[in-house]
Amino acid sequence: MSEQRSAYKPYSQPPAEHSGKTSSAKSDVVRAWDLPTRLFKWSLVALILVAWVSSGFNDPDMTVHKAAGYGVLVLVVYRALWGIFGSSTARFSGFVRSPAAVWTYLKALRLNRAGRYLGHNPAGGLMVIGLIVVCGVQVLLGMFSSDGVTASGPFAGLVGDTVSSWAASIHAAWFYFAILALAGLHIVANFYYQFVKRENLIGAMITGRKRREAYVDHKEATGGSLPVAAVCLLTAFGLVYGTVTLFGGSFFASI
C-alpha cells in the first residue's frame, strides 16, 4: 500500500502546476482604461463622422448635423467632468504635463530612451487636450452659425448676420481641417506606437488592458465607477440642454 501511495503523488501534481500557470497568465495584464473612457472615445469618433457626412446631406435644416453636434458637445463636457472624477488614467492630473515635460519626452523618444506609460504619455496627453478643445470650439462655432437662409445654430440670432456668417465660414473650413489634422496625427501616432514601438495602444483602447510592465505613471488604473460616469453624463446633458434652452434655442428640435 505504501508503494502505491508514493506512486500516486507525482500523478496528482500537474493539476496544481496548471492552476499556477493560469493564475500567472491572468496577472500578465493590467487595467489601463476604464469602460467610460473607452466608450467616450469611440462615441466621439462616431459622432464626428456623422457630423462630417451629414453636412453634405440634402437637408436644409441640417437636422442630423445639429443632433451630432449636440452629441459631440455633451461628450466634450462629459470628458471635462470625467477628467476630474474618472479613473487614474482618465484624470487630467494623471496625464496633463507642462510644455517642458512634453519636449523632454519627445527628445527621449527620438533617442529611443522614452519610458512607457500605462495611460497617456506627455505628448499623447497634449494631443487629447487639443482634440477636446478643438471639438468643443467647432461645435460652439456651429451654434453661432447661420447660412442666411434656413439653417442656423441656436445662438445665431444673438450675434447678428455678420458674426453668424463669419462663424459659419470658420466652422465649415478652418476648424474642420484642424480636427482632420489632429485626428490624422493621432492615428499616425497610434500606428507608430502599435507597430514600431510594439505597444498595444489600439487593442488597449478596445479591451481596456495592457501588458504588465514597469510603467512610468501608474502600475494599474484605479477608480472609474460606472455610477459616477452616469452622473457625469447626465450632468453634461443637463448643462448643454439647459444652456441651449436658456438662450432660446430648441435642443430637441434637432434630435
Mean pLDDT of 97-108: 96
Residue pLDDT, tens place only, 123-174: 999 999 999 999 999 999 999 998 766 678 888 888 888 899 999 889 887 7
CATH superfamily of 34-254: Transmembrane di-heme cytochromes, Chain C (1.20.950.20)
What SS3 state is found at 123? helix
Q: 84 exposed, middle or buried (CB, 10 Å; 0-12, 13-18, 19+)?
A: exposed
Cα–Cα distance for residue pair 123/202, rounded to 1 Å: 17
Distance between terminal CA atoms of the chain?
A: 80
Q: What is the pTM of this model?
A: 0.85
Residue 22 has pLDDT above 70, yes or no: no
Extents of the domains making up the chain: 34-254
Supply angle C-alpha 184, 124, 89, rounded to 5: 130
pLDDT tens profile 34-72: 999 999 999 999 999 999 888 878 777 788 988 999 999
Mean pLDDT for all residues in the chain: 86
